[in-house]
Amino acid sequence: MGAALGAFAATGLLMAAPASASSDPVASCRNLTFNGQCLVLYYNSGLGGSSLTYEGTTSVADMAGDKFLTSGSGQGQYVKNNAASAKNMTSQGFWVSIYFNSYQDGPCDTIAPNKSTSQLRNTYNENASAHSGKGSGCYVFN
């Protein structure tokens, strides 16, 4: 279903033991069970449309095969190269970075703990991977 490395798990999508899909990604993040970090990617700008929730602390090497599952515009579309906005929900102060290329390479956007962006800058509809932490040279949303 998607190549993922580390402890990030997609709600209803990838990893060996995915969480169940939720119609409310923020509510899903409040029930953090993966070391306190939760990245929500949205199909539309302004945190709108269908969403996908990644929970965990390390990385998603390649978003290929992952799909937006919640109701709304973009439901069923692939996440890779289709995310327009994002929210970093965290309970432990983790930063999260989203990358243009697979395997955390290329231009990137970094989102501060408990912050969101209504429109990604360097990875707007060009997202392929993610990891927790501040990426080098990333545009920072804080």
More confident of the two residues 35 and 6: 35
pLDDT, tens digit (0-9, with 9 covering 90-100), for 77-127: 999 999 999 999 886 788 999 999 999 999 999 999 989 999 999 999 999
Across 120-138, b (16+ Cβ under 10 Å) vs e yields: bebbbebbbbbbbeebeeb
Question: Hey, what domains does the chain have and what are their CATH numbers?
Answer: 9-141 (2.60.20.10)
Q: CA–CA separation, 114 vs 106, rounded Å?
A: 24
- What 3-state DSSP class applies to 101? strand
Average pLDDT, the chain: 81
More confident of the two residues 37 and 8: 37
